[in-house]
A and B are shown apart, each in its own frame.
Chain A
Amino acid sequence: GAVVSQHPSWVICKSGTSVKIECRSLDFQATTMFWYRQFPKQSLMLMATSNEGSKATYEQGVEKDKFLINHASLTLSTLTVTSAHPEDSSFYICSESLDTQYFGPGTRLTVL
């Protein structure tokens, strides 16, 4: 299967700041990546589909101006949480779409 990395693995930031999370495909070229958010003891919630070279497709209820996604190359997609607030604290996970989905290790975001 594919190997996907995420950076950072955890981040703590102050309310009102922006945080960028990177998702890298280490061994395949990924035209499509997915971004999820997971709150404690809850399911993965799909936020958006990241498409290389084009705009991301956001799921209903996800603010595209708050969660900026950039997929500028076939190996890198980034998610920027803008003007973060404590309610944005969550576990953010990306996945690479091939024959199935291969997930990164996740990024724990804590907003103080």
Chain B
Amino acid sequence: SQKIEQNSEALNIQEGKTATLTCNYTNYSPAYLQWYRQDPGRGPVFLLLIRENEKEKRKERLKVTFDTTLKQSLFHITASQPADSATYLCALPPFSGGYNKLIFGAGTRLAVHP
């Protein structure tokens, strides 16, 4: 069955460094992959979408890569700030289909320390 894996351990980094989060998936070849940010007690907020024919996507300090051979996406935050501290979720359309449906990974919590 379809599986999405994100590092369950929190990532602690120093302010100004680059944070790199990993999303691995199995048994599937999605047409696209999305990244969301979720703060405690809040709904997720969409950050970036990358399609299977795109290797890399950037938005301000964010960069996402998509390696369909490795079945992996990397999410980078450069020049990280304490305000970037949150849980980051990757999401894929389900193998079973459904317009705009998404299956979410468990998320990785990022803590940026001053």
Contact = CB atoms under 8 A, between A and B. Distances in A.
Interface of A: 1, 4, 6, 32, 34, 42-44, 46, 49, 57, 91, 93, 95, 97-98, 100-106, 108
Contact of A32 (B34, B44, B100, B106): B100
The B contact surface, by secondary structure, is loop
B90 to A, nearest CB: 10
B114 interface: no
Interface residues of B, number: 19
B41 A101 contact: no
5 contacts: A34-B102, A43-B105, A57-B98, A100-B46, A100-B100
A102 B104 CA distance: 14
A102 B43 CA distance: 9
A106 to B, nearest CB: 5
Given A32-B99, A49-B101, A103 B106 contact: no
A46 B107 contact: no
B49 A49 contact: no
Given A105-B42, A105-B43, A44 B99 contact: no
B45 A103 contact: yes
Interface string B67-110: 00000000000000000000001000000001111111111000
A101 B34 CA distance: 10
